Copies of this chain bind each other. A is one copy, B any other.
Amino acid sequence: MAPLELDAAIVSSLVNIRYLTGFSGSNALLLVTHTEATLLTDPRYTIQAKAETAETGIKAVIAKGSLEEALTPRLSKLRRIGFENNRVSYRTWEHLQRNLPLNAGLRPLGGVIEQRRMVKSAGEIAAIRESVRINSQAFAAALTRFRAGMSETDFAAEIEHQMRLLGAEKPSFDTIVAFRERSALPHASPGCTRLDGNGLLLVDMGTFRGGYASDMTRCIHLGKPGAKTRSLYRAVLEAQLAGLDAVAPGASAEDIDSATRRVLRKHGLAKAFIHSAGHGLGLEIHEAPRLGRGEKTILRAGMAITVEPGAYIEGAGGVRIEDTVLVTANGVEVLTPTSKELVIL
């Protein structure tokens, strides 16, 4: 907090609290001063808060009423108090503001904790590796259980069950299983469409394991793909490989996006690529940095990101290929072990 010239910081984002303290409950505030850290939570978490913060020296306080009210007396000798302006609701800010001691002021923390979270520790990288491994294993296991005539929802259920059996806590986002023209909807929810006959099938899936996210997209083709589909697939694969090639410490986040976009433009697919090329991930499925146009963040060794260009043709279908990767001292390590050949079923 010294460079921010703060006496204290109030952390209200649960994921940032988990990052800083290890506490994983659903209701908490964290007050950090120069000398101590105090975690406030409610009586449901008395036992859990004690257990999860045991090794950190953080003081866990159980509040009977609202956490904001329990916080107020603890602010009495503080003047410059940081708050998470990008996380706190306007109403919570008002509440904090109203209960400040005389002479004290709230100062924006910005995304200072999120910035710090971008570069992962060895322990975090190990957790992400494990999450990625389980996710790819679940995909392989679900493929062996694929049956023509299943619905999109059935196949998504099978994928998520395999994740769970392999030790995932839960999917890191709603699994996408999208067949034929529905694959052109980059965020399609699985529906009752039957996976039968000939067509392109897009699967985007991720797990949380040990609290850490993984993320992967692969395409499957039921029956023999036509020439158009093959060339669409090859173009996106070329773009994805170009994106991976561009990942290195010192590159900017937008460089990765440009590298993928350049390839798709060459194939006449510039307008078909309607999202950014990737994102950081960790305790959240979407974290900084975003790999998109205008994003100047410089990649550093230890960052975990996705590289996921796609091309979507309304009424026909879409292709996306996505790996979870690690920025290393020398360039990139692709964590996702799953083959990027178009799977033919």
Contact = CB atoms under 8 A, between A and B. Distances in A.
A44 B187 contact: yes
Interface string A138-153: 0000000000000001
Interface in A107-141: 108
A54 to B, nearest CB: 15
Interface residues of A, number: 44
B314 A47 contact: yes
Interface string A192-217: 00000000000000000000000000
A24 B189 contact: yes
Given A48-B185, A86-B91, A274-B44, A156 B164 contact: yes
A87 to B, nearest CB: 6
Interface string A211-234: 000000000000000000000000
A48 B174 contact: no
Given A153-B167, A189-B24, A275 B43 contact: yes
A161 B156 CA distance: 10
Nearest to A161: B161
Interface string A90-104: 111110000000000
Given A85-B91, A86-B89, A169-B174, A45 B160 contact: no
Contacts of A83: 90
Contacts of A171: 170
Nearest to A166: B157
Interface string A27-51: 0000000000000001111111000
A88 interface: yes
Contacts of A86: 89-91
A26 interface: yes
A170 B174 contact: yes
Nearest to A154: B165
A288 to B, nearest CB: 14
Contacts of A91: 85-86, 108
A47 B44 CA distance: 43
Nearest to A192: B167
Contacts of A184: 47
Nearest 3 pairs of A and B residues by beta carbon? A157-B164, A43-B274, A161-B161
